[in-house]
Amino acid sequence: MSHPDRFLLAGVMGWPIMHSRSPKLHGYWLDHYGLAGAYVPLAIKAEGLEAALRALPALGFAGCNLTIPHKEAALRIVDEASPLARRIGAVNCIVVRADGSLEGRNYDAFGFTESLRERAPDLRFDAGPAVVIGAGGASRAILAGLMDEGVPEIRLINRSPARAQALAAEFGAPVRAVPWEAKAQALEGAAILVNTTSQGMVGEAPLDLALDALPVSALVVDIVYAPLETPLLAAARARGNRVVDGLGMLLHQARPAFEAWFGIDPKVTPELRALIEATL
Ligand code: ATR
């Protein structure tokens, strides 16, 4: 490359941060598209978030991603947040505008629905009810994504029932809370099942859910990507369900962020997936 007039900069703020795969992912694209730039891990504690975000324009950053524990706090700091980020209650991507102000966006819902599209191109979101397990931050993004795709009914199930009820009340129809005790029966007639909890992750117990009532035509999705095949996905695959692992959501949420910062809509390729899979 011959003397670009600007070195492109972006990164991810979190604490801890060294486990993040985002630098490898965006670094791959910068290289692949021949851009002079870097995407760096930024170890920022909660109390340092505001100062770190406000420093982005002065440092010449195009923006940054946010991960644990900053996604909710960033919503209160940015100068403007997209309606979707406000609805989800979290920001996972910040764009530095020309005047130095900070715009908060959320691409987690996009990453989720695009990863389903990639793995199940014939999926019709309006084909039937979805069952969503978990009512934390990840669940909020997934509920928004499923609602916006036209899923006709969303059965929300959480270990702590009050949290599912509050979330169902906040999002409104088609989301409704179903008691934890009724989770196995709630799978009846479902077209999509999504685990948004950390159950099944390395070091955690498997999600405690009997799949007998789930139609074999249903798509089973886990947002956990370490391991790639959780006990839930293994059980679903064994009985004939199509499954989608959590890596696609990570890969696809990065696309619109990269485009917003650097002007190129990058592709999620088998080569990129293999590169990130090798780090799991
Ligand atoms: P995130 O932002 O990643 O979604 P979170 O807000 O901490 O994380 O939410 C974690 C989700 O996993 C919650 O729905 C949580 O259920 P509770 O609201 O009852 O805590 C769920 N979860 C965590 N450990 C669980 C377990 N052992 N069994 C069932 N659900 C669990």
Per-residue pLDDT tens over the stretch 18-63: 999 999 999 999 999 999 999 999 999 999 999 999 999 999 999 9
State whether 135 and 75 are in the same domain.
Answer: no
Domain boundary among 85, 106, 127: 106
Does residue 257 form part of some domain? Answer: no
Ligand 1 mutation pick, 167, 178, 181, 197, max ligand atoms within 8 A of CB: 197
Residue range 5-30: mean pLDDT, rounded: 96
Per-residue pLDDT tens over the stretch 194-226: 999 999 999 999 999 999 999 999 999 999 999
Domain boundary among 56, 73, 106: 106
Does residue 266 form part of some domain? Answer: no
Alpha carbon nearest to ligand 1 atom 5, residue:
136
User: What pLDDT is recorded for position 2?
Assistant: 56
State whether 152 and 37 are in the same domain.
Answer: no
117, pLDDT greater than 60 = yes
State whether 25 and 140 are in the same domain.
Answer: no
C-alpha triplet 260, 110, 230: angle, nearest 5°: 125
Residue 135 CB less than 6 A away from ligand 1: yes
Q: Of 144, 13, 92, 95, give the one whose Cα is nearest residue 259.
A: 95
Distance 223 CA to ligand 1 centre (A): 12
CA distances from 212 to 209, 219, 221, 236 (A): 9, 14, 16, 10
Distance 204 CA to ligand 1 centre (A): 11
Per-residue pLDDT tens over the stretch 134-179: 999 999 999 999 999 999 999 999 999 999 999 999 999 999 999 9
State whether 132 and 231 are in the same domain.
Answer: yes
State whether 70 and 135 are in the same domain.
Answer: no
Instruction: Identify whether the C-beta of residue 206 lies closer than 8 Å to the C-beta of residue 199.
Output: yes
State whether 75 and 148 are in the same domain.
Answer: no
Residue range 246-252: mean pLDDT, rounded: 97
Q: What is the pTM of this model?
A: 0.96
The enclosing domain of 129 has a CATH number of: 3.40.50.720
Residue 199 CB less than 6 A away from ligand 1: yes
Distance 133 CA to ligand 1 centre (A): 9
Domain boundary among 78, 106, 134: 106
Does residue 67 form part of some domain? Answer: yes
CA distances from 248 to 57, 100, 114, 215 (A): 30, 32, 8, 23
State whether 21 and 93 are in the same domain.
Answer: yes
State whether 122 and 243 are in the same domain.
Answer: yes
Does residue 263 form part of some domain? Answer: no
Please state, in angstroms and rounded to a whole number, the distance separating the CA atoms of residues 177 and 163.
9
Instruction: Identify whether the C-beta of residue 215 lies closer than 8 Å to the C-beta of residue 209.
Output: no
Q: Which residue range is the domain that position 117 belongs to?
A: 109-247
Query: Mind telling me the catalytic residues?
Result: 71
Does residue 272 form part of some domain? Answer: no
State whether 93 and 122 are in the same domain.
Answer: no
Parallel/antiparallel/unpaired status of strands 93-96 and 63-66: antiparallel
Does residue 137 form part of some domain? Answer: yes
Read off the amino acid at residue 56: L
Distance 1 CA to ligand 1 centre (A): 47
What b/e string do you get for 31-68 counting C-beta neighbours within 10 Å, with b at 16 or more?
Answer: eeeebebebbbbebeeeebeebbeebbeeebbbbbbbe
Does residue 273 form part of some domain? Answer: no
The enclosing domain of 12 has a CATH number of: 3.40.50.10860
State whether 119 and 235 are in the same domain.
Answer: yes
State whether 50 and 176 are in the same domain.
Answer: no
Atom of ligand 1 nearest to the CA of 159: 19
Number of domains in the chain: 2
Alpha carbon nearest to ligand 1 atom 18, residue:
160
User: What pLDDT is recorded for position 31?
Assistant: 98
Does residue 62 form part of some domain? Answer: yes
State whether 120 and 238 are in the same domain.
Answer: yes
